[in-house]
Amino acid sequence: MSPLRVAIVGFGKIARDQHVPAIATTEGVELVAIASRNASLPGVPHAATLDELLHDGPEIDAVALCTPPQVRHAQAAMALAAGKHVMLEKPPGATVAEITPLVTAARAAQRTLFATWHSRFASAVDPARQLLAGRKVISVKITWKEDVRVWHPGQAWIFEAGGLGVFDPGINALSILTRILPQPLFVTSADLAFPANRDAPIAANLALSDAEGLKITAELDFLQTGPQSWDIDLDTNGGPVTLSMGGARLRAGGAQLVDAADAEYAGLYRRFRELTATGESDVDLAPMQLVADAFLLGRRRTVEPFEDVP
């Protein structure tokens, strides 16, 4: 079988740190081009825009869209119209509704649309799902706190409308939660802290539930200095269960069950390769819907302005 020839569109920190090495170590996937106005990779053909790449670049089978979510819909539609498979970095777009026409376009073109949730591919997530399948979950506490200046330096788009703010990392926790729990979840309340000079929140506290009244709380913060916190603590009828380090570690019954190196993006590309072999799509919008509902229900508080350089 011929390798899947992939072009990365948007070449920022995540593309460099995660997508490039994942492609390099995934059998049957090959990086053949970069499209970016501001960055390139030595030895890899480069175009300034996706349009230029599609018209004048090397032959490709698929694009991985790593651009800000505000522009992803138009790029995905262009790539699908050109007969290319499309991988969407998370979140899949700036809104929930804009993804549905892309699903329709992918089906019509018999091409794959893959809305990725990389945290679901963390090493401990599926083991946690299997463990919880035999237990009753009593309550859940999410603590997802990181330093935006470390992980998104100079990326002003993340605090613009459609950029999600603290929900850019926070949606990772929600993607894990909607994977490991068996019933659909919904937001019951939200408190959102907006810097006075920004259009997206820098912190949030959420309450969620399911049809059986499960109590779920989430504390999200984009100003955490020192050790970073990416933890999901579950109280179950079989004792406490903890997913930590963004889903890389699983602890239950006083024992460390999983403690593995980061393999999330390699898992994404293996899945993308599987999907493109048949033209099947994989688009789960549950995490995005929870974020949208948090914005709908959220009580907005204005806090001090945020500057990228403290």
Q: Which sign does the torsion angle of CA 81, 90, 99, 300 carry?
A: negative
Where do runs of H (alpha helix) occur along 181-263? none
Please determine, for residue 79, whether its predicted confidence score (pLDDT) is greater than 80: yes
Query: Which residues are bridge partners to 241 per DSSP?
Result: 234, 252
Closest CA to 167 of 288, 85, 250, 77: 288
CA pair distance 262, 275, nearest whole angstrom: 22
Q: Give residue-wise pLDDT tens across range 291-301.
A: 999 999 999 99
Domain 4-115 and domain 123-260+293-303 have a common topology: no
CA pair distance 298, 294, nearest whole angstrom: 5
Please determine, for residue 3, whether its predicted confidence score (pLDDT) is greater than 70: yes
90 is catalytic: yes
Band of the pLDDT at 310, cuts 50, 70, 90? low
pLDDT value for 309 = 79
CA pair distance 49, 33, nearest whole angstrom: 11
Please determine, for residue 261, whether its predicted confidence score (pLDDT) is greater than 90: no
Cβ contact 143:206 at 8 Å: no
More confident residue, 67 or 263: 67
Query: Which residues are bridge partners to 140 per DSSP?
Result: 216, 234
Fold for the domain defined by 123-260+293-303: Dihydrodipicolinate Reductase; domain 2 (3.30.360)
Catalytic option among 90, 136, 141, 145: 90
Please determine, for residue 14, whether its predicted confidence score (pLDDT) is greater than 70: yes
What's the whole-model pTM score? Answer: 0.95
Q: Quick one: 4-115 is in which CATH superfamily?
A: NAD(P)-binding Rossmann-like Domain (3.40.50.720)
Closest CA to 172 of 294, 22, 287, 17: 287
CB within 8 Å of 98: residues ≥ 6 apart: 73
Q: What mean pLDDT is reported for the chain?
A: 96
pLDDT value for 2 = 87
Domain ranges of the chain: 4-115, 123-260+293-303
Please determine, for residue 47, whether its predicted confidence score (pLDDT) is greater than 80: yes
